Amino acid sequence: MSAGVQEVVLITGISGSGKSVALHALEDAGYFCVDNLPPELLRDFIAVERAREGGARQVAVAVDVRSAGSLPHLLPLLDTLGAQGVAVRSFFLDASTDALVRRYAETRRPHPLTADAATLASPRALVDAIELERELLASLRERSTIIDTSPLRPAQLARWLHDAVGAKGAPLTLVFESFAFKFGVPLDADFVFDLRVLPNPHYIKELRALTGRDAPVAEYLAAQPEVGEMVSHIAEFIGRWLAAFDNGQRAYLTVALGCTGGRHRSVYVAEQLAQRFTARAPTLIRHREQDAGT
């Protein structure tokens, strides 16, 4: 039995946050995927996988609020599987309520928790259904790596998840994410640093159309003493506590770096920090606004 599956990727989260996209991305990456598996069947499913002939294969399972009645049994089951030598890597896809409402309006699909609306004195509003789902999944969210899909296109979510599962076996992955404050703070951020106090290349005509990854912008920012100080101070803080976060058995630590437009300062600082830490820990770089094409 030990020759079979040793790790399972669990995809869960708020309805409308992109679980189907995530599962399709894993399937494209070679995972054997099962959607909406009732939690009480998870152990039997893994037992079958571990006993199968032909060696181990990568397995991903999606569980959501459609199995609400079984969710209280899921967390103890994850602990049991861990004791049996099966690691479960749980990813919780989340999104802002505004983004979810917009997606439901576009697809015209009903939220799964409005299905019992006929038994209610009055139909359950979409926002109420979303908030109820957040309550039901709160405990599972705390046990998972959170991915905020609010600003992400499907292709971008697929790429981020592919990066995440590709960083296999690393005790802790550092994620440096640039963003624009005008589009909101990322929900998956563990730390947020405001770079709007730094000199802004946007006001230099020759640099405005470029990004923090372009040499002229990088040279300009590198020449500003306060930019170097900011990078050093953030690096010192992360470096001081990196071992503690690693010992806390976290899979990811997301450091969000924001400026006004998410184009120059935040991109440059994210790149600089990633360079400083690449030799100390597995490192990912995300440029939210650039990857989204904004």
Asked whether residue 2 is assigned to any structural domain, the reply reads no
Asked whether residue 185 is assigned to any structural domain, the reply reads yes
CB atoms within 10 A of CB 167: 16
In 149-276 the beta strands, taken as DSSP E runs, fall at 173-180, 191-194, 252-259
Those residues with Cβ within 8 angstroms of residue 229's Cβ, 6 or more apart along the chain or in another chain: none
Q: Do residues 88 and 127 both lie within one domain?
A: yes
Q: Do residues 206 and 276 both lie within one domain?
A: yes
Report the number of distinct structural domains present in the chain: 2
Which among 121, 149, 166 is the end of a domain? Answer: 166
Q: What is the pLDDT of residue 2?
A: 43
**Tokens encoding 248:** 């806390």
Which among 166, 198, 229 is the end of a domain? Answer: 166
Q: What is the pLDDT of residue 66?
A: 74
Q: What is the pLDDT of residue 116?
A: 59
Q: What is the pLDDT of residue 169?
A: 42
Q: What is the pLDDT of residue 250?
A: 66
Range of the domain at 248: 173-291
Q: What is the pLDDT of residue 273?
A: 98
Asked whether residue 21 is assigned to any structural domain, the reply reads yes
Q: Do residues 105 and 205 both lie within one domain?
A: no
Which among 107, 137, 166 is the end of a domain? Answer: 166
Q: Do residues 156 and 185 both lie within one domain?
A: no
Strand pairing report for 87-94 and 191-194: unpaired
Burial annotation 248-285 (CB, 10 A radius, 16+ → b, else e): eeeebbbbbbbbebbbbbbbbbbbbbbebbeeebbbbb
Q: What is the pLDDT of residue 258?
A: 97
Dump pLDDT digits (tens) for 70-83: 677 788 888 888 88
Q: Do residues 180 and 59 both lie within one domain?
A: no
Q: What is the pLDDT of residue 293?
A: 64
Q: What is the pLDDT of residue 248?
A: 55
Q: What is the pLDDT of residue 243?
A: 86
Q: Do residues 91 and 199 both lie within one domain?
A: no
Asked whether residue 1 is assigned to any structural domain, the reply reads no
Q: Do residues 223 and 91 both lie within one domain?
A: no
Asked whether residue 245 is assigned to any structural domain, the reply reads yes
Report the alpha-carbon distance of residue 142 to residue 176 in Å, rounded: 21
Q: Three-class SS of residue 223?
A: coil
CB atoms within 10 A of CB 109: 11
Asked whether residue 137 is assigned to any structural domain, the reply reads yes
The pTM (predicted TM-score) of the whole model is 0.60
Asked whether residue 256 is assigned to any structural domain, the reply reads yes
pLDDT per residue rounded down to tens, the chain (294 residues): 345 556 789 999 999 999 999 998 888 888 899 998 888 888 888 888 877 776 667 889 998 877 766 677 788 888 888 888 788 889 999 999 999 999 988 888 888 887 654 455 566 788 998 998 899 888 888 888 899 999 888 878 888 888 888 744 446 889 999 999 999 999 889 999 999 999 999 999 999 999 999 999 999 999 999 999 999 999 999 999 998 887 655 678 999 999 999 999 999 999 999 999 999 888 999 999 987 665
Q: What is the pLDDT of residue 78?
A: 84
In the chain the beta strands, taken as DSSP E runs, fall at 7-13, 32-34, 59-62, 87-94, 145-148, 173-180, 191-194, 252-259, 283-287
Looking up residue 43, the CATH number of its domain turns out to be 3.40.50.300
